[in-house]
Each structure stands twice: as C-alpha cells, then as structure tokens.
Structure 1
C-alpha cells in the first residue's frame, strides 16, 4: 500500500511543514491565523475559472458563507458541493481555493465551497448540519447555480468525512438526490491500531494530532459511534451514492479510507478506489505537487462518467 520512497515533491512539502508539527502543540486560533497568512500568499496567482462569487446561504443556525466557482463555458452545469479539510478545526474556503478551481476546470461543474462551522467552538453535529443544509440548498436552487440537475458531494480529509455523511443522510432521509460522492483521503474509521497510523505517524499528521482533532470535534467518545459522525459506524451502506475514494500510501488515514471503500463495495455500492502509493495526506490541495493535478483529473473523469449515467 506504500511505495518504497515518497514522491520528491511530496517530501519537500513534508519538510516545509516541520516547523508546525505536531499540530496538537499549538493553539487552534494561532493555527488558523497562520493558515490565513499562508493562504493569502499562496492564492495570489490562482487557476482561472469563468467566475467566482462569494455569498451566503441559509444555515441551520445562521447563514453559511459559500464561494461559487463557475466554469468558463455556458451552462447548465453539474453541481459539486465541496467541504474543505482541516480536522473539523482548521481549513476554510481560502485554504481550498486552488483545489476547487481545479475541480471546476476539470469537471466543467459549478462548485459550491462551504464554510461550515468549526470545532471546538462548534463541535459535532454542527459541521454535519451545515454540510447537509448546504447540499439541500444546492438541490433546491438549480436556477441560481445554472445547474443541469445533477448533484455530487466532495471533500478532503474531514471534508471527505462530511461528504460521506451527507450521502448517508440523504439515503436515510430520502433527499436530496445525490448522484456521486468523492472522498479524498477521508477521515473515516481511524484507530491507532491501524498499520497506516503506526507506519506514517508524524508524516503531515501524527497520532497526537488525530486524537486532538477528535477531542475538539466529537466532544465525547459516545459521539464517535454515531454513523453521522463517522460513517464507518453505519450498519449498512447500501443505497448511498456511487463513490470515488482516494487514498495515499504515506497517509495515516490510508487504512480507514481503504476499509471504507471495501465496505461500500461489499454493500453493493459502485465504488472506484484510487490509490497513490507515493503520496501524502493533503496532496490534492498542493500546487507544488504535480500529482495534485493528476488526481483532480482522475476524479473529474469519475464524476463525468457518473453524470453521463444519471
């Protein structure tokens, strides 16, 4: 599952992160400030799309900030609702701007990037409620999005968890109708006994970091057993939207993602598992890694195929 050597570009990204590792040693407010500064410098020459629009949509408790990315082509378009990573504590629309732009360019879809509430100020189920509400809004407002009626959810890391949970909730509640889910190295089914956690401890994420994120988000062990907190706890995944699950060899979350892909397949869900053995956690958001564009192209192909079948 892991290559003999890490991709050199990925290794360079890991080396640059050493100054903020482990994450758990820092106050979450300081980390958010550092992310804002890094985002400001990193987003100065973004990939071009047709248009971006910042706005807000109704949320469960207050309005949610969203950014819409429109293709440089006439609509109507498929719609992708995207949830950023960051352990449910960090991350923002800005940190994932490059990835959402690339998704728009490669898929020809309008991407709705959602700024959901973060822990520890807003622990579970706040992020889940926001993610589901945003997806329902996208389904209910095709005219505002110039949508062709097809709808996918996507996310990376914690956002991959949210995308999977929204797909599960949509099955359980009977709405909205989700055509596809894309889970990039999702934070699903993680436990310290997994080989990937032991093997890759400290590569981008340490076990201490994972436990810290969980403590901030779940606010109690009982919540971790809720399938809407961790869909690996679901008794049955049959009937959820077809999926692409992306995993990386040098990622502590690898085995959780692999197990979830296998669970989906066992329960009769059409799933494509794309594994990148020389990659690290978070690689799809890094323009410094050439394979980031490759994975976006790969998942765009999967989404396009799903849209054609729908």
Structure 2
C-alpha cells in the first residue's frame, strides 16, 4: 500500500478514536452531573421539609441585569429603619450580602434577620444578592453574578454611596465576598465582613481540623458540593479559593467571625494572619473573632442558645463596625 494511503488510513483511524474518546468523556460528564443533581436535589428537598426557610421580608426586591442575555439577578433590599431614600435625598452607604449555600443549596433569604438588624441599627442599605448555585450552574456562575451585582451598584451613584460600599457573606457567601473584593481595583470596597468563610477548596476537606476538635462534621457533603461547583477546575484559582489571592487586594477594614468547632476556621485564621502581616505597612485593620464553643453556622443554630447568643453578639458587633465607618463619612 502506498505511503500516502497508509497515512490517510492512519489519520482516519485517529479521527475515529478521538471522536470515541470525546463522546465517552461527554457521557461520563453527563452521568456525573446526573449523580450530583440527584444527590443535591435530594438534600435540598430534605432541608426544605425538615428546616423550612422562613419567608424573608425585605423592603423591596430588585431585578438587575445579568451579563447573560435574558437573565436577571434577584436582590432583596433592606432600607435603614425600613425607610427608602427620598427623591433627591442623600444616597445611603451600602452593604452587599451573599448568603451561605455551599455553592449548591438555594438559601437566598436565610440572612433576612441579619439584613434587617443591620439596616435597623446602621445607616447602611443592605442588598442581599441571589447568586446561582451548582450543579446546574457551576463555577464561575456565582462569581459572575456577584461581580454583576457590584457593577450595577457602582453604575448608580445617584442611588447608592458608591464610595462607601462594604461586602458581607456567610459561609460560602463569605468566600464569595472575599473573592469579589479581589475582582475590582483596590479601594473599591470600604470594608469586608465574613461569617465563617472557607477560603480554600484545595486539598481533601476530610483532613481539615477545627481549632477545638471533637465536633467535626462528616466531609461527604462538602466533597459533593465542591465537585459540583468546581467541576474539574483548578481549586487554587483565586476566584475559587481566595486564600491564593494577592492579599493587597483585600479591603482596608475587615471583620471576620470564626468558630471553635468549625473546620473552616483554621484556613481563615491563617489567611487573616497573612493579610494582617502583609498589609501592616498600609495600615490595614483586620479583626478576627473566634466564637467560643460554637459551630459553623452558629448564628442560625436555634437548638443551642449559646450559639444564638453568639450570633446576636456578632450582629451587634457588625452594626457597631459599620457605624464606626459611617462616622468617618464627611
């Protein structure tokens, strides 16, 4: 057989083989998605039945444009003392909040009590952002939604004090707040508040240890959530794990709450120490408060009064923190 015919035949063989491999990989990815969809949907249903989420009561609801054509992003708005800014009145400083979801659970509205408390005890308007979750919308969907929400706010200086914007988040929402703060020029955000964020998705979650051991939770669901969200991406990407971000990009003022029995606390406290050390020359102020005898999600743990009390203390500290920033507004 002539050499040209052999090469042609070999090329056809390689093409068929690559098509089979691509088809097999596509089937594998689809089956993996179905598994993740089944597991997470089952958990969502179980949570909805056993721990129903109280209906949030914002003052109004915004639907802002997404970068994706035909989509909008839902935002719950909480006005200071429940009073909307009057026409022609001075815009309010802003706190943007991201709820905790494991990047998989649909918990928007779970921070209603916190958002109302902050709006009542400070002069900040609170925008509670609904972002997309996995497995239906893996990374970077949540990051894109957070970035779009900030871009919307910055584009409306007539409605918001765009020079006085703070970020806040709970659990994965705290991780998202950390990530979002690094996506914009330094100085965009006045402060950042994080409740038990997990700053790193690199490594085996089953190997993480809480500062005070003894009440660690099984890591099964954490692994499922990570697989659904990251979907094969590099976990060291700073947009996934802000522990790997340039610390100079974080806001000047930061307030972080961790918990004795939370495995996320060790990574977050290590990152906070690095932020503090590397930001010393620029005068960065970062306060880390570890809540004694508390677990991940302590402020929502209604079964333990000491943890609910810790939540009330933390909320009050956030209000005081924001009021101290307001006092500097000239």
TM-score by length of 1: 0.79
* Alignment match, 1:230: 241
The 3 A distance-change label for structure 1 pair 39 and 133 is: farther
Over 3 Å counting, the alpha-carbon distance change for 1:73 and 1:29 in structure 2 is: closer
Structure 1 residues 283 and 106, CA, compared in 2 at 3 Å: closer, same or farther? Answer: farther
| Aligned residues of 2:123 and 2:326 also touching (Cα < 8 A) | no
Contact 2:212 2:260 in 1 (8 A): no
Q: Extract unaligned runs of 5+ from structure 1.
A: 1-23
Deviation at 1:101, TM superposition (A): 1.6
Partner residue in 1 for 2:319: 300
The residue number in structure 1 matching 2:269 is 258
CA distance in 1 between counterparts of 2:46 and 2:222 reads: 19
- Alpha-carbon separation, structure 1, partners of 2:214 and 2:155: 42
Distance 1:285 1:166, change over 3 A: same
User: Are residue 208 (structure 1) and residue 220 (structure 2) matched?
Assistant: yes
- Shift of residue 283, structure 1, vs aligned partner: 1.6
Return the match for 1:119 from 122, 129, 134: 134
Query: Does residue 246 of the first structure (1) align with residue 257 of the second (2)?
Result: yes
Q: Partners in 1 of 2:162 and 2:273 — Cα distance?
A: 31
Once the two structures are TM-superposed, the CA of residue 228 in structure 1 deviates from its matched residue by: 1.0
Question: Out of 99, 121, 125, which is 1:110 matched to?
Answer: 125
1:9-43 CA distance string (max 9 Å, x none): xxxxxxxxxxxxxxx9x822233334445675634
CA distance 1:27–1:136, change in 2 (3 Å): same
CA RMSD of superposed structures (Å): 2.7
Q: 1:32 aligns with which of 44, 48, 51?
A: 44
Assess if the C-alpha contact under 8 Å between 2:102 and 2:172 holds in 1. yes
Q: How does 1:79-228 map to 2 (within 5 A)?
A: 79-145=94-160, 147=161, 149-171=163-185, 177-189=188-200, 191=203, 192=205, 193-196=207-210, 199=213, 202-203=216-217, 206-222=218-234, 224-228=235-239
| Conserved? CA contact 1:197–1:207, under 8 Å | no
1-side partners of 2:221 and 2:177: how far apart?
Answer: 22
2:65 to 58, 61, 81: 58
